[in-house]
Amino acid sequence: MPTLYTMPGTCSLSPNIAVAWLDAPVEIHNIPYGDQKKEYYLAINSRGQVPALRFEDGDVLTEAAAILAWLGATHGKESHAPGSRLGRKEAEALAYMTSEVHAAYGGHFNTQKFAESAAAQEEVKRKTYEKLAGHYERLNGVLSENGGEWYLGQRSFADTFLYVLTRWIEKTPLSIGDYPALKAFRACMEADEGVKQALARQAMEPIG
C-alpha cells in the first residue's frame, strides 16, 4: 500500500483530502514539523518537503498536483480523466493554485530568502500581500461564477487545494471576509466528512 507523508499546516492536506474522498487504499503518515529535515525523511524526499507518496517498490512521487493526478488516474472516476472536460479544467486550476498562488506565499513564509534588511523584508511582504490579494480576488470570482459551492461547478481535486489556500489566508494580514464566496466555501468544506477525516489524520483543526 502506498504511503502519503503529510505534516500539519502544509499543502499535503490537499492530497490527504483526496484520499479520503476516494476512500483510496493509501496509508497516511503524518510527520511532526521539523522531521522533514531529518535523515529518515530526506531518504524519502531529499528536498525535505511534503507531500510525498511512497510506493511499495520504493518509488516516490512528490508535488501535490502530481499526487492528485495519480490518485485521480488510479482511484478516481472517469470525470478525473485528463481527456474529460472536468479533468482538463481540474488540471488547469491545480496548476494555477499550486504554482502561481502557492509560489506567491514565498514572500510570506520565507521572506529572508528575498531580502536581508528589515526594511527590504517589509517591502517584500507588502508586495507579497498585494499579489496574494489579486489571487484571492480571482479565486473568489471564479468560485462565484461557478455557483459558489465548488470551484469548477462540481466537486474536483481543485477544491482540496483551494481549501488549503483559504486556511493560509489567516496567516496573512488579508481577511477572508473580503472574499465572501471563499469564506462560505471554507465553511462548507469543514462540514464535509472527508475533510474532517483528513484534518484529524494531519493533527489539524477546522478554522470555523
In this prediction, residues 140-146 reach a mean pLDDT of 98
CB 36 within 8 A of CB 13: no
**31-53 pLDDT, tens digit each:** 999 999 999 999 999 999 999 99
User: Side chain identity at 2, as an amino acid letter?
Assistant: P
Query: Would you state the pLDDT for residue 106?
Result: 84
Interhelix angle 85-95/64-75, nearest 10 degrees: 160
- Strand partners for 54: 3, 60
Hey, how many other C-beta atoms are within 10 angstroms of the C-beta on 159? 25
Structure confidence by residue, pLDDT tens digits, 186-206: 999 999 999 999 999 999 999
Please give the sequence-ordered ranges of beta strands (E in DSSP) within 22-147, or none if there are none. Answer: 27-30, 52-54, 60-62
Name the residue with higher pLDDT: 70 or 107. 70
For the domain bounded by 3-75, which CATH number is listed? 3.40.30.10
Which of 3.40.50.10070, 1.20.1050.10, 1.20.210.10, 2.60.120.10 is the CATH number of 79-192? 1.20.1050.10
Spans of all domains in the chain: 3-75, 79-192
What mean pLDDT is predicted for residues 158-165? 98
